Amino acid sequence: MTTLDARLRDVRTRRKALVPYFIGGLTADWTTYVSAAILAGADVIEVGVPFSDPMMDGPVIQAGALRALANDVTLESICHDVSVASFEVPVVVMTYYNVLHHFGLARSAELLAASGVAGVIVPDLAIEELTPWREVATAADVATVLMVAPSSPIDRVRRIGALTQGFVYAAARMAVTGRAADVGDAERVVTSIRTVCDTPTYVGIGITTPDQASDAAAFGDGVIVGSALVQQILDGASAQDIEGSISTFREALDRTAPEA
C-alpha cells in the first residue's frame, strides 16, 4: 500500500474528497491558487503537466496548457514549484506517458517522489503496458491512479481495480474534459467499480457546479473539479476568487455524509 492509499482511506472515513485540478505553471504564481484551494477545503490537489498533444483534455485545459508551455513549463519546473510550496495535502500529477518516457521512467518516479508528489494519473498508459512504470513508481512510493470509463467492461474494471493505487478515477462520460450539464454515467461507472474493489472512487470529467459535485458524491467517495477552475484562472480570477469557488464546492460536499 502506498502512502496515498492510506491518506485517502482516512479521508473517506471523515468526508467526501474534493480534488481541484490546476495546470502547473499556468501563471507565475500558480501555487498560490493551490494554497487557496487547500485553505478552502481541498483534500487532494491534481496538477496537470502541460502537453502539446493531449488525448483527454478539452478546449479549456488545452488553452491553459498552451499558455503554460509558452512560459517554458516542464515536469522539472512543476516538481520544483511543488517542492518549494510543500503543500499540506497530497499532490497527484496528471501527465501523458510521452513526458515520463522521454524523461526516463525511473528518473521521473524519483523526481516526483523527491518533490513530494504522492501519485500520478497517466490517461494514455494502458494497463497492458503499465508494469514498467508502475514498478518504478511504487518503489518510489508514487501511486499510479487508473481510470475507468463508461465503456469499460466488468472484466477490465476488475483488472483496473486490482492495479490502481490511491483512488480510482471514475470518468463520468465518454468525452474530453470540460463543462457538462449533469453527472452523465457516473453512477453506473462507480457501481461497476464498487463490485470489484474497495478503493476510494472519485468522479471526474464534467463536474462543473457544486450541485453536480453533491450529486456525484452521493454515490462516489469524492469529485474532481478541473475545467471550471482553469477557466476562472484564464479569465483573470485571483487566488481569493478560487478560494471562494472551492468553498462552495466544499460546502456542497459536506452536505453529503461519508459512507459508514
- Least Cα distance to 204 among 192, 189, 238, 193 occurs for 189
What letter represents residue 253's amino acid?
A: L
Burial class (CB in 10 A: 0-12, 13-18, 19+), 166: buried
Active site residue 46: yes
Contact (Cβ atoms closer than 8 angstroms) between residue 163 and residue 130: yes
Q: How far apart are CA 40 and CA 98, in angstroms?
A: 34
Which of the residues 5, 43, 46, 243 is marked catalytic? Answer: 46
Q: Please, which residues have CB within 8 angstroms of residue 90's CB and are 6 or more apart in sequence?
A: 3, 4, 7, 8, 44, 45, 118, 119, 166
Terminal alpha carbon distance of the chain: 22
Residues with a catalytic annotation lie at 46, 57
